[in-house]
C-alpha cells in the first residue's frame, strides 16, 4: 500500500527565499530567434584559472593562450595581474614576446582599488589592444556585508575608480600607443535591483566619458556571479537593461553567466535573445564552483542551427587534450559535444534509427549533390555530424545487452563490408545477445567481428569449420527433359570438387539446376548431409577490378540426422565472399553447412 512519506528535512520555505520576478511586460526575447554569433570572450585564463586548486603554471597558461588563438578568439581575459607574480609575469611575457596577434584584444581584471589598478596597467605596458576590466559587487547583500556601503557609496567607488582607469589609459596611450577599451562589471548583477544596475552603469559611462561606436563602445558586463534564478529571469533582466541604459548604441552588453542551478547555457542563450552582444565564459565550463558558462557548448549550439559560431572546434579532441591537461580536470563522459559517450547509442531502437538514418541520408545526399542542393544533416539521435568535430563514426554504435540487431548489423557493415539480410541480422543478433548477457559487459567491435567469424566460419583458414571447399569445377549440360512451363530444355549444373572434411580430403560430385543445388546434392550423396536452400541473396563489395561478391545463404534441414539435434524449425545461415560470384555462393553454402554440422549434432561425417 502507498504511504505518504515525509522526508525528515528542514522546511525550505523557512530557510530560503525565492527570487523576486521582475515586473517587465515589455519583454520581446521569447519570440526572437538566433541570427548571428555573439562576441566571445574567453576567461579561461582568469575566472577559470582562479577556480583551480592548482592555478596554471606560466607554461600551461601559454599553451592555453595559443589554443584560444587557434580556436579564433579575438578577446581573451589573460589574467588578474595584481593577484600574483605568475599572473603579472605572464602578461609581461605575452607582451614582450609578441605572442598577441594584432587583431586580438587582451583583457585584464582589476578590482576598484587604485594600487591594484596601477599594478594592472604596469603589466600591460607595450601591449597593442587592451580591455581594462574593473568590477565591484553591487547587490544588497554585498553592499551590506562585504563593503558596508550605501548605494551612493557603491556608485562613488565605481565612478572614482573609473576615472583612475580613464587617466591611466590616456597616459599609456600617449606613452605606448596602446588602444584601450573599458569594461565595467557590476558584479552580482543578477542579484542586484535592476534599476540600480542601470544607474551605476550610467554613472560609470559618464565618468568614462568616451562614448563611441564599434571598438570604442564601453562594455557593460552583467554577471550572474552566482546563478540564483531561472534563465528566463536573467533574460528579463538583460532585456530590461538593454532597453533602459542610455545611448545603447555606445554600449556593448556582455553576459557572464555561472552555472550554479545548472542552467548557465540556457541563461546565456535567452539573454542573447534579450539583446546582449557578447558572452564571457570558459571552454567546457570550467570556472568558479559549478563553472562559467561553456563557450564550446554555446558555439556548437549555434553551429547546429546553421549559424557560423566564428570559433573553430573542428579538432575538438585536440582542444579537450589541451584544456584537460592545463586545468587538470576531466570532461564528463556525457558533457555536451565533448564527452566520450555523447555520440554513442547502446540501445537497440536508437541504433536501428541511426542505421536507417545513415542509409537514408546517403541516398538523400546523392540526390542533393546531383541537383546542386545543400546536403543537410538530418539524423535520428545525432544533432550534429561527429565528423564536423573531427570525430569518426566509430563510437556512434556500441553494443551491450540493451542493443538490437540494427546496431550489430551496422557494425558488421562498417567493419566487414557485409550488408546482412534482415533474417540473418536477427540470427546473428541472437548470438551476440547471448554472449553479452552471459558476460554482462559491452561487446567491442573485435568481440562482434570475432563472434561473426566463428559463427559463420568466415575469414580464411583460421576460421575453417569441419568442412572446407578446396577446389571445384562447375560444368553445364542440357537436361534430358524439357521444363514443364515452356517446353525448352533446362540446363543442368554439375559440381565436381574437393572438400576437406574433418581434415580429410573428399572428392564429391553432384548435380542440380544451379551450382548451389549441385553442391548440396554432392554433400547429400557423398557426405550424408541433407540440407536444402531456403533463401539466397548477394551484393557487391567495392567496385571496379577489385569488386567482390558477398553471398548469403539460409539452409534448412531435409533429413532427421540434422533435424534431431537441432529441432525441426532450425535454419542455418552462411556467408561467402569471393571475387567470383559462383565461388562466393558456394562458400556461403559451406559456411551454412558448417554452422549446421558443428557440435552438438548427430552428423558424423561418414569419413
Ligand atoms: C566574482 C569574481 O570572480 S571577482 C575576481 C575574484 N578573483 C580574485 O579574487 C583572484 C585574485 N585576488 C587576489 O589575488 C586578492 O584577493 C587581491 C590581490 C585582489 C586582494 O587581496 P587582499 O588585499 O589581500 O584583499 P582580500 O582579497 O583579502 O579582500 C578583499 C578586500 O577588497 C575589497 N574588495 C573586494 N572586491 C573589491 C572590488 N571589486 N573593488 C574594490 N574592493 C574590493 C573587499 O571588500 C576587501 O576589503 P577589506 O580588506 O577592506 O575588507
Ligand atoms: C568579475 C566578474 C565579472 C566575475 O567574475 C563574476 O561576477 O563572476
pLDDT in tens, 119-161: 999 999 999 999 999 999 999 999 999 999 999 999 999 999 9
Nearest ligand, CA 142: 1
The sign of the CA dihedral 304, 306, 311, 314 is positive
Ligand 1: does its nearest atom lie under 6 Å from the Cβ of 187? yes
Ligand 2: does its nearest atom lie under 6 Å from the Cβ of 421? no
Which residue in the block uniquely carries the three cell numbers 558586463? 221
The sign of the CA dihedral 151, 155, 156, 158 is positive
Q: What is the ipTM of this complex?
A: 0.96
Ligand 2: does its nearest atom lie under 6 Å from the Cβ of 47? yes
- Residue span(s) of the chain under CATH 3.30.160.270 come to 462-481+488-597
How confident is the prediction for the chain on average, in pLDDT? Answer: 93
Q: Which three three-digit cell numbers place residue 519? A: 553442391
Ligand 1: does its nearest atom lie under 6 Å from the Cβ of 111? yes
46 Cα–ligand 2 center, Å? 10
Checking if the pLDDT of 577 tops 50, the result is: yes
* DSSP, residue by residue, 217-239: SEEEEEEESS--S-HHHHHHHHH
Q: Which three three-digit cell numbers place residue 286? A: 570550467
Predicted confidence (pLDDT) per residue in 320-368, tens digit: 999 999 999 999 999 999 999 999 999 999 999 999 999 999 999 999 9
Nearest ligand 1 atom to alpha carbon 84: 14
Ligand 2: does its nearest atom lie under 6 Å from the Cβ of 187? yes
Q: How far is CA 438 from CA 240, 329, 545, 604, in A?
A: 61, 36, 43, 30
CA angle 396, 397, 401 (to 5 degrees): 150
Residue nearest to atom 43 of ligand 1 (CA): 111
Predicted confidence (pLDDT) per residue in 364-385, tens digit: 999 999 999 999 999 999 999 9
Q: How many CA atoms lie within 13 A of 589 on its CB side?
A: 23
Nearest ligand, CA 164: 1
CB atoms < 10 A from the CB of 389, how many?
Answer: 21
- Residue span(s) of the chain under CATH 3.20.20.70 come to 36-327
137 Cα–ligand 2 center, Å? 9
What's the DSSP call for residue 82?
T
SS (H, E, C) 291-324: CECEHHHHHHHHHCCCCCCCCCCCCHHHHHHHHH
Per-residue pLDDT band for 488 (boundaries 50, 70, 90) equals: low
Looking at domain 36-327, which CATH architecture does it have?
Alpha-Beta Barrel (3.20)
Ligand 1: does its nearest atom lie under 6 Å from the Cβ of 184? no
Nearest ligand 1 atom to alpha carbon 146: 45
- Helix-strand-coil percent breakdown of the chain, rounded to 5? 45, 20, 35
pLDDT, position 598:
79
Ligand 2: does its nearest atom lie under 6 Å from the Cβ of 135? yes
Q: How far is CA 455 from CA 432, 557, 585, in A?
A: 10, 18, 17
Checking if the pLDDT of 599 tops 80, the result is: no
Indicate the SS3 state at residue 29.
helix
CA of residue 526 relative to chain centroid, distance = 57
Predicted confidence (pLDDT) per residue in 189-233, tens digit: 999 999 999 999 999 999 999 879 999 999 999 999 999 999 999
**Average pLDDT for 255-284:** 98
Ligand 1: does its nearest atom lie under 6 Å from the Cβ of 500? no
- Probe target for ligand 1 pocket from 111, 116, 154, 227, with the most ligand atoms within 8 Å of CB: 111
Ligand 1: does its nearest atom lie under 6 Å from the Cβ of 82? yes
Yes or no: say if 58 and 89 are a contact pair by the CB < 8 Å rule. Answer: yes
Per-residue pLDDT band for 61 (boundaries 50, 70, 90) equals: very high
Radius of gyration of the chain measured on its C-alpha atoms? 36
Residue nearest to atom 12 of ligand 1 (CA): 83
- Probe target for ligand 2 pocket from 48, 184, 185, 282, with the most ligand atoms within 8 Å of CB: 185
Q: Give me the torsion for CA of 253, 44, 314, 35, rounded to 10°.
A: -10
Residue nearest to atom 8 of ligand 2 (CA): 225
- Strand partners for 457: none
Crossing angle of helices 316-327/58-71, nearest 10°? 160
CATH class of 462-481+488-597: alpha beta
CB atoms < 10 A from the CB of 507, how many?
Answer: 12
Ligand 1: does its nearest atom lie under 6 Å from the Cβ of 47? yes
Checking if the pLDDT of 454 tops 50, the result is: yes
Residue nearest to atom 7 of ligand 2 (CA): 225
Nearest ligand, CA 183: 2
Ligand 1: does its nearest atom lie under 6 Å from the Cβ of 83? yes
187 Cα–ligand 2 center, Å? 6
Checking if the pLDDT of 559 tops 80, the result is: no
Is residue 499 reached through a cis peptide bond, with omega within 30 degrees of 0 on the bond before it? no
Residue nearest to atom 6 of ligand 2 (CA): 225
Ligand 1: does its nearest atom lie under 6 Å from the Cβ of 149? no
SS (H, E, C) 391-457: CCCHHHECECCCCCHHHHHHHHHHHHCCCCCHHHHHHHHHHHHHHHHHHCCCECHHHHHHHHHHHHC
Q: How far is CA 375 from CA 288, 370, 394, in A?
A: 41, 10, 22
116 Cα–ligand 1 center, Å? 10
Ligand 1: does its nearest atom lie under 6 Å from the Cβ of 147? yes
Ligand 1: does its nearest atom lie under 6 Å from the Cβ of 164? no
Per-residue pLDDT band for 558 (boundaries 50, 70, 90) equals: confident
CA of residue 419 relative to chain centroid, distance = 27
Checking if the pLDDT of 569 tops 90, the result is: no
CA distance 346 to 333: 14
Which residue in the block uniquely carries the three cell numbers 556525457? 334
Ligand 1: does its nearest atom lie under 6 Å from the Cβ of 86? no
Ligand 2: does its nearest atom lie under 6 Å from the Cβ of 185? yes
Ligand 2: does its nearest atom lie under 6 Å from the Cβ of 223? yes
Ligand 2: does its nearest atom lie under 6 Å from the Cβ of 221? yes
Residue nearest to atom 5 of ligand 2 (CA): 47
Nearest ligand, CA 185: 2
Ligand 1: does its nearest atom lie under 6 Å from the Cβ of 80? yes
pLDDT, position 567:
46
Amino acid at each position: 500500500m502507498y504511504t505518504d512519506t515525509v522526508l525528515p528535512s528542514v522546511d525550505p520555505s523557512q530557510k530560503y527565499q525565492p527570487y523576486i520576478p521582475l515586473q517587465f511586460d515589455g519583454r520581446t526575447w521569447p519570440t526572437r530567434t538566433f541570427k548571428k554569433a555573439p562576441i566571445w570572450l574567453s576567461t579561461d585564463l582568469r575566472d577559470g584559472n582562479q577556480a583551480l586548486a592548482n592555478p596554471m603554471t606560466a607554461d600551461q597558461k601559454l599553451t592555453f593562450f595559443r589554443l584560444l588563438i587557434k580556436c579564433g578568439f579575438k578577446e581573451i581575459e589573460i589574467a588578474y595581474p595584481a593577484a600574483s607574480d605568475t599572473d603579472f609575469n605572464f602578461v609581461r611575457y605575452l607582451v614582450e614576446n609578441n605572442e598577441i596577434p594584432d587583431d586580438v584584444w587582451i583583457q585584464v581584471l582589476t578590482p576598484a582599488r587604485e594600487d591594484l589598478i596601477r599594478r594592472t596597467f604596469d603589466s600591460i605596458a607595450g601591449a597593442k589592444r587592451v580591455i581594462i576590466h574593473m568590477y565591484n559587487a553591487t547587490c544588497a547583500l554585498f553592499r551590506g556585508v562585504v563593503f558596508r556601503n550605501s548605494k551612493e557609496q557603491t556608485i562613488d567607488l565605481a565612478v572614482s575608480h573609473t576615472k583612475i582607469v580613464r587617466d591611466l589609459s590616456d597616459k599609456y596611450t600617449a606613452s605606448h600607443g596602446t588602444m584601450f577599451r573599458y569594461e565595467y562589471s557590476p558584479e552580482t548583477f543578477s542579484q542586484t535591483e535592476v534599476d540600480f544596475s542601470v544607474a551605476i552603469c550610467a554613472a560609470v559611462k559618464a565618468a568614462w566619458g568616451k562614448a563611441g561606436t564599434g571598438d570604442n563602445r564601453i562594455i557593460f558586463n552583467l554577471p550572474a556571479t552566482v546563478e540564483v534564478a531561472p534563465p528566463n529571469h536573467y533574460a528579463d533582466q538583460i532585456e530590461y537593461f538593454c532597453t533602459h541604459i542610455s545611448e545603447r548604441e555606445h554600449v556593448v552588453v556582455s553576459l557572464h553567466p555561472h552555472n550554479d542551478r545548472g542552467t548557465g547555457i540556457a541563461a546565456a542563450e535567452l539573454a542573447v535573445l534579450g539583446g546582449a552582444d557578447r558572452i564571457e565564459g570558459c571552454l567546457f565550463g570550467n570556472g568558479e564552483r559549478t563553472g562559467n558558462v561553456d563557450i564550446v557548448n554555446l558555439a556548437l549550439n549555434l553551429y547546429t542551427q546553421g549559424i557560423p559560431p566564428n570559433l573553430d572546434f573542428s579538432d575538438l579532441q585536440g582542444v579537450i587534450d589541451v584544456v584537460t591537461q592545463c586545468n587538470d580536470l576531466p570532461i564528463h563522459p556525457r558533457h555536451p559535444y565533448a564527452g566520450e559517450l555523447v555520440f554513442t547509442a547502446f540501445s537497440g531502437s536508437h541504433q536501428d534509427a541511426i542505421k536507417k538514418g545513415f542509409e537514408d541520408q546517403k541516398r538523400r545526399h546523392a540526390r542533393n549533390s546531383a541537383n546542386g542542393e545543400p546536403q543537410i544533416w538530418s539524423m535520428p539521435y545525432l544533432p550534429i555530424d561527429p565528423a564536423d568535430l573531427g570525430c569518426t563514426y566509430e563510437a556512434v554504435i556500441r553494443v551491450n545487452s540493451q542493443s538490437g540487431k540494427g546496431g550489430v548489423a551496422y557494425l558488421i557493415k562498417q567493419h566487414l563490408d557485409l550488408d546482412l539480410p534482415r533474417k540473418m541480422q536477427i540470427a546473428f543478433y541472437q548470438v551476440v545477445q547471448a554472449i553479452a548477457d552471459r558476460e554482462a559487459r559491452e561487446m567491442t567491435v573485435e568481440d562482434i567481428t570475432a563472434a561473426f567469424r566463428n559463427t559463420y566460419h568466415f575469414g580464411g583458414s583460421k576460421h575453417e569449420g569441419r568442412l572446407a571447399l578446396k577446389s571445384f569445377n562447375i560444368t553445364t549440360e542440357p537436361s534430358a527433359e524439357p521444363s514443364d512451363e515452356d517446353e525448352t530444355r533446362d540446363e543442368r549444373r554439375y559440381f565436381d570438387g574437393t572438400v576437406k572434411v574433418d581434415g580429410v580430403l573428399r572428392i564429391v560430385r553432384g548435380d542440380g539446376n544451379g551450382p548451389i543445388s549441385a553442391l548440396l546434392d554432392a554433400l547429400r550423396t557423398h557426405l550424408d548431409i541433407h540440407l536444402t536452400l531456403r533463401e539466397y541473396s548477394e551484393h557487391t563489395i567495392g567496385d571496379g577490378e577489385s569488386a567482390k561478391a558477398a553471398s548469403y545463404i539460409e539452409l534448412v534441414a531435409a533429413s532427421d540426422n540434422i533435424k534431431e539435434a537441432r529441432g525441426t524449425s532450425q535454419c542455418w545461415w552462411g556467408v561467402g565472399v569471393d571475387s567470383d560470384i559462383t565461388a562466393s555462393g558456394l562458400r556461403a553454402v559451406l559456411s551454412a553447412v558448417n554452422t549446421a554440422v558443428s557440435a552438438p549434432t548427430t552428423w558424423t561425417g561418414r569419413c
